[in-house]
Amino acid sequence: MDPGALLARSYPLPDGGRVRLRLLRRSDAAAVRVLLATAWAVPDDLELQRLLRFDPRRRLAIAAVSLRARGEALLGAGAIDLAPGAEPDLIVVDPDHGAALEELIAGALRARARRRAA
């Protein structure tokens, strides 16, 4: 994966759909809360704000979105500290999209962290 092109292209999913990876935004708060609730538990406001407000020089938080008739649908999210050898500390995906989307997000996060460390 080319981490430089991370936010500039779409990626295929096994079900035939496509997702685009982009930075998480504060406006994603409601969708992230719903996504996290389906995965494990409803996050408190501090956890949610930590995920959505980050210094892009030190941390990366991305969203996997799919275009729908009424805009974007958030299918997954992930975050990683941009440090040498870092591993993603959060990856959550819509249960309908499972392992393939999880691997895409994890790979993108790791590639960007490696590129930043180099």
By three-state DSSP, how is residue 43 classified?
coil
Position with higher pLDDT, 8 vs 34: 34
The span from the first CA to the last CA of the chain, in angstroms, equals 16
Classify burial at 38, counting beta carbons within 10 Å of its beta carbon; exposed 0-12, middle 13-18, buried 19 or more: exposed
Average pLDDT over residues 79-91: 91
Per-residue pLDDT, 56: 87
Q: Are 64 and 74 in contact (CB under 8 A)?
A: yes
Q: In whole angstroms, how far apart are CA 64 and each of 18, 44, 85?
A: 10, 22, 23
Whether the pLDDT of residue 4 is over 70: the answer is no
Domains and CATH numbers, the chain: 3-117 (3.40.630.30)
Average pLDDT over residues 83-91: 90
Per-residue pLDDT, 48: 87
∠ CA 89-53-1, rounded to 5°: 50
Per-residue pLDDT, 63: 95
Non-local CB neighbours of 57 within 8 Å, separated by 6+ positions: 82
pLDDT-derived band at 1 (thresholds 50, 70, 90) equals: low
Non-local CB neighbours of 79 within 8 Å, separated by 6+ positions: 24, 51, 54, 59, 60, 61, 62, 88, 89, 90, 109
Mean residue pLDDT of the chain comes to 87
